[in-house]
Amino acid sequence: IAKQQLQIYVPNAFTPEGAENKVWKPVSRWMNIYNYQLSVFTRKGEEMFNTNKTDVGWDGTFNGGKVPPDVYVYWLKYSNAFGDTYETRGTVTLVR
């Protein structure tokens, strides 16, 4: 069996009040993702969102209130069935 890196697509923008893209989350065609950790931060480093569930995304809120449109930083870490760990960071733009 050949080892394959999990292919996860991370959208670079979303619109919580829009008709589509109301929740931001990475998506993958692979089912066996392990040790999943996702966090979203302001550019100043304040954590706005975190989850360890692949089916849970960020709705553009923090402590029950809407966050302003801006560019936010994400950090994503996960493993595959072979124990290989991957880590990526980037930005996501919230548009209201």
Q: What is the pLDDT of residues 16-58, one digit of tens each?
A: 988 888 999 999 877 789 999 999 999 999 999 999 999 999 9
Do residues 60 and 67 touch, judged by C-beta distance below 8 A? yes
Q: Using only C-alpha atoms, what is the Rg of the chain?
A: 14
| pLDDT, position 35 | 95
With a pLDDT cut of 90, the percent of the chain lying above it is: 74
**Confidence check: pLDDT of 1 > 50:** no
- 47 backbone dihedrals φ, ψ, rounded to 5°: -75, 125
